[in-house]
Amino acid sequence: MKRDIKSLSYEELNNEIISIGLPKFRSKQIFEWLHKFGVSSFDEMSNISKDLRAKLSNSFFISSCEIEQRFVSEIDGTVKYLFRLYDGEYVESVIMKYKYGYTICVSSQVGCKMGCTFCASTLAGFQRNLEAGEIESQLHSAQSDLNIRISNIVLMGIGEPLDNYDNVVKFFHNVNHENGLNISMRNITVSTCGIVPRIYDLMDEELPVTLTISLHAPNDEIRSRTMPVNNKWGIEEIIKACRAYIEKTNRRVSFEYTLINHVNDSKECALELAGRLNGMLCHVNLIPVNDVEERGNVRSTDKNIHKFSDVLKMNGINATIRRTLGSDINASCGQLRRKRNEVE
């Protein structure tokens, strides 16, 4: 079975190169082709001899994300891709343009096991983890298609990144490597539904990535109704892990809070949330729930969203209401892959 050469770390690639009796500088060249230039075939590696290219392609393949569909928002230029992977599976990515540059929202798994009741990603089931190279290929494909340089990455596409921990951490290192895309870890945000043991693992890696928690409720009773993962690790445990993360990394943690009408958007909920987060170096992102057909969740009224935000602020909690981008192209993830699966 051939292995994906793009999913090797620099050190792993180096060991492979040395083990086939080649000088070390070849690792740098090959790593650059794969990660800085994002080539999808060994033949494109023009400073590598034919012999060596043949040797490499005997043992390895190069993972990629083929563009299956592309949607461009007429409202704000947000671009959404449906990518096909080598085994015929699909994932989605979204490119958003902000004042400071381009941000990509990448998928980390094909599907998701977490079962959150408002989310589309979980509906089509879980197939497999993405390899580190496949997460990175989403950047390469989008960059070359749009002729842009991406500066920021959020892991908020399909999948639960901390349920694919090793590949995700390897992706951080590869995308940050000076011979690769060289994207600062400070420009990477990893979002989790709250896999507590992995939060501690990430903390111990001491990487300057931003941690975001999909909280969506102020207490276990409400949270367990919408997020089954909460039955395993409750809010107390999550907040405790976040406080430890902040203590150790000195980095602000963010909380995502999706507002659903009559579910989690009352004044009492806002007050309870403010109490929980009291004194913490954190920020709350308020997101009006995006209606997913089968889910039947209704977004909070604008009035309630603003009220919720005001209550948090009056109680000393930083909060912003997330601007909606790409609303005309179903930019929130999980929806395309599901439609595609229905067709096949």
Catalytic residues, which ones? 92, 333
Binding ligand SAH (rule: CB under 6 A), the pick from 34, 62, 106, 119 is 119
130 three-state secondary structure: coil
Binding ligand SAH (rule: CB under 6 A), the pick from 192, 249, 304, 309 is 192
Question: Nearest distance from residue 334's CB to ligand SAH, in Å?
Answer: 7
Residue pair 121/135 in contact by the 8 Å Cβ criterion: no
Is 93 a binder of ligand SAH (CB under 6 A)? Answer: no
Question: Nearest distance from residue 85's CB to ligand SAH, in Å?
Answer: 18
Question: Nearest distance from residue 212's CB to ligand SAH, in Å?
Answer: 7
Is 290 a binder of ligand SAH (CB under 6 A)? Answer: yes
Is 230 a binder of ligand SAH (CB under 6 A)? Answer: no
Residue pair 175/169 in contact by the 8 Å Cβ criterion: no
Question: Nearest distance from residue 251's CB to ligand SAH, in Å?
Answer: 17
Distance between CA 238 and CA 255 in Å, rounded? 11
DSSP 148-205: --EEEEEE-SSS-GGGGHHHHHHHHHHHH-TTTT---GGGEEEEES--HHHHHHHHHH
From the list 63-71, 142-150, 185-193, 232-240, the region that binds ligand SAH by CB under 6 A is 185-193
Binding ligand SAH (rule: CB under 6 A), the pick from 73, 191, 254, 330 is 191
Give the tokens for residue 313. Answer: 């602020």
Residue pair 102/151 in contact by the 8 Å Cβ criterion: yes
Residue pair 42/64 in contact by the 8 Å Cβ criterion: no
Residue pair 53/68 in contact by the 8 Å Cβ criterion: no
Task: Give the pairing type, strands 188-192 and 150-155.
Answer: parallel
Q: Which one, 8 or 331, has the nearer CB to ligand SAH?
A: 331
Is 156 a binder of ligand SAH (CB under 6 A)? Answer: yes
Is 214 a binder of ligand SAH (CB under 6 A)? Answer: yes
Distance between CA 168 and CA 159 in Å, rounded? 11
Q: Which one, 45 or 162, has the nearer CB to ligand SAH?
A: 162
Burial environment of residue 88 by CB neighbours within 10 A (0 to 12, 13 to 18, 19 or more)? exposed
- Per-residue contact string for residues 43-82; x = within reach of ligand SAH by CB under 6 A: ----------------------------------------
Q: Which one, 286 or 311, has the nearer CB to ligand SAH?
A: 286
Q: Which one, 156 or 284, has the nearer CB to ligand SAH?
A: 156
Binding ligand SAH (rule: CB under 6 A), the pick from 92, 131, 136, 160 is 160
Is 286 a binder of ligand SAH (CB under 6 A)? Answer: no
Q: How many helices (H) and strands (E) does the chain have?
A: 11, 14
Q: Which one, 65 or 263, has the nearer CB to ligand SAH?
A: 263
Distance between CA 267 and CA 300 in Å, rounded? 12
- Please give the residues from 240 up to 259 whose contact with ligand SAH meets the rule CB under 6 A: 256, 258
Strand partners for 283 = 254
Question: Nearest distance from residue 34's CB to ligand SAH, in Å?
Answer: 26
Listed in sequence order, the DSSP H helices in the chain are: 10-19, 25-31, 50-59, 132-146, 165-176, 196-205, 220-226, 235-249, 267-276, 302-314, 335-343
Is 335 a binder of ligand SAH (CB under 6 A)? Answer: no
Q: Give me the residues that bind ligand SAH (CB under 6 A), please.
A: 114, 116, 118-119, 156, 160, 191-193, 214, 256, 258, 287, 289-290, 292, 332
